[in-house]
Amino acid sequence: MMGRPVATRRGSREERRAEIVRVAAAVFAQHGYGAATLQEIADRLAVTKTSLYRHVQGKEELLGAIVGEALGDGRAILERYRQAEGPVLERLRGVVADHVRHFVRNLDVTTVYLHEMHRLPTTLRERFDHDGMDYQRSMRDLVQEGRSAGVVRSELDPGLVALQILGSITWMYRWYRPGGRLDPDAIADQLAEVMVNGLAVPQGGTSLGRRPRKRVSGRPPAGALDSAEGAGGARLRRSEVVEVAASVFAARGYGGASLQEIADRLGILKGSLYHYIDAKDDLLLEVVQRTYDGGYSRLRQHVEMPGDVPDRLRNLITDQVMFFVNNVTPTSVYLHESHRLPDAVGTRLRRAGPGYHESIRSLFDEGRRAGTIRADMDPGLAALQVLGSLNWMYRWYHPGGRLMPARIADQLADVVLHGVAAPAEADSTDRTAQ
């Protein structure tokens, strides 16, 4: 049955294009940009595929429109609060909460922007990257305004704060589902409350000093994933294959990577790779599994160790930052490409994946019972906020950048702990700092 043509009545063309973009976002979010087709977009609109070309030239233009909409909407929210009058902390609270609410209302658009923008042509992608940097700078400037006004703690780096805010919000695309346990307003309120509390100079004007980080006995060295490989030429060779595969996946994306390039980098014939694997999926699975196992085993040590919850949380966060810094390439592949695994394998990993979230949630819950973590805070959401701040590093961290890894780790942990601390714990820490 032939679909109806796209309406082109005067005054409706822009509205119809916006509808096409929204449907395209839903299709791209569901299937991925590479697998999505104009035919499915046309079918969902109940129009002919040919009639779509009256409005767009192809998938690439639609992706550009989606990315532009996501960036434009986010910047509009931020600029509204930057230009508004009123206390800086309340404006920061509004920025975080309104971003969350906008995200929830535009889940498909935001998801496609975050996960598919790299597929745009270089020139267009670089333009959007520039817009994204302007967006981060605007967030940084709002935080700096708070420092200048004496309401945001002076020891915090505003640029890193901006990235932590954006990470805690944007990582929602990996876990938020409509109709879940928490409604959007509850999510927005808690994320904003924790972040603002984490940045604010405590009442009375004395900033909470950083609590000394307690070194944990038995803590594993922050080495690379391959450090545990035993002797034996074949095993070490397989480790090398996996390491090179990770670097190719990170550079090209899993879809754009080829076994031929992996073989070329190893200096072997492509056929020789099949001594180690049956298919490219095997390499992705091993990169993902090694990364998950390496990070999770370290996390569990801090969760299971006795001691005060705030100290264990601080050590957990700083250790996870250092694990990422020492494993940038495989961790980036794990976070960005694991969804490309075959369904059966992906389902098994997703069942294991909540171990990270549940472990951190249990630590927050323990702190609530002990009175060191705020009782009015949802521990599951707090765990997701921590994971967002940590996992988002793969989108912005570059070795040799302005901030040293230890500085990044200390501040990410510091903001979280100030944000979630029970009032009595904050007062005690404040007196200790003095």
In the chain the domains, ranked by start, together with CATH numbers, are 1-57 (1.10.10.60), 67-199 (1.10.357.10), 225-433 (1.10.357.10)
Report the range of poorest mean pLDDT among 37-41, 62-66, 320-324, 354-358.
354-358
Q: What average pLDDT does range 165-173 have in this prediction?
A: 92
Could you write out the DSSP letters of every residue in 4-25?
A: BPPP--TTTHHHHHHHHHHHHH
**What is the per-residue pLDDT for 424?**
62
**What is the per-residue pLDDT for 385?**
94
**What is the per-residue pLDDT for 222?**
41
Phi, psi for 408 (deg, rounded to 5):
-60, -45
CB 262 within 8 A of CB 244: yes
Model confidence at 215, pLDDT cuts 50, 70, 90, reads: very low
Per-residue pLDDT tens over the stretch 315-347: 999 999 999 999 999 999 998 888 777 766 656
Neighbour tally for 312: CB within 10 Å: 21
**Residue 275 DSSP label:** G
Angle at 128 between CA 127 and CA 131, to 5 degrees: 95
N-term to C-term CA, the chain: 77
Neighbour tally for 235: CB within 10 Å: 11
Whether 380 shows a pLDDT value over 60: the answer reads yes
**What is the per-residue pLDDT for 415?**
96
The whole-chain average pLDDT of the chain stands at 85
Please tell me whether residue 200 adopts helix, strand or coil conformation: strand
Q: Which residue has the tokens 């001691």?
A: 307
Neighbour tally for 353: CB within 10 Å: 17
Q: What average pLDDT does range 264-272 have in this prediction?
A: 90
CB 110 within 8 A of CB 26: no
Model confidence at 179, pLDDT cuts 50, 70, 90, reads: confident
**What is the per-residue pLDDT for 134?**
92
Q: Which residue type sits at 223?
A: G
**Residue 152 DSSP label:** B
Whether 197 shows a pLDDT value over 90: the answer reads yes
Range list of H helices, 217-374? 233-252, 259-266, 280-304, 309-326, 328-337, 343-352, 354-370
From 32, 105, 23, 112, select the one nearest 68 (Cα to Cα): 112
C-alpha Rg value of the chain to the nearest Å: 23
CB 12 within 8 A of CB 91: no
**What is the per-residue pLDDT for 151?**
96
- Take residue 204 and report the two structure tokens written for it: 């009375």
Between 12 and 47, the higher pLDDT residue: 47
- CA–CA separation, 236 and 234 (whole Å): 6
Model confidence at 226, pLDDT cuts 50, 70, 90, reads: very low
Q: Which residue has the tokens 């996501």?
A: 70
**What is the per-residue pLDDT for 347?**
62
Per-residue pLDDT tens over the stretch 398-428: 888 888 999 999 999 999 999 999 886 555 5
Residues 6 or more apart whose Cβ sits within 8 Å of residue 253: 118, 336, 337
Q: What average pLDDT does range 205-220 have in this prediction?
A: 43
Q: What average pLDDT does range 26-49 have in this prediction?
A: 92
From 327, 331, 312, select the one nearest 373 (Cα to Cα): 312
- CA–CA separation, 17 and 33 (whole Å): 19
Percent of the chain clearing pLDDT 70 (strictly above): 84
Whether 249 shows a pLDDT value over 50: the answer reads yes
Whether 27 shows a pLDDT value over 70: the answer reads yes
Of 137-146, 172-181, 420-429, highest mean pLDDT:
137-146
- Take residue 121 and report the two structure tokens written for it: 């042509």
Report the range of poorest mean pLDDT among 149-158, 174-183, 316-325.
174-183
**What is the per-residue pLDDT for 209?**
42
Percent of the chain clearing pLDDT 90 (strictly above): 63
Burial of residue 121 (CB within 10 Å: 0-12, 13-18, 19+) is exposed
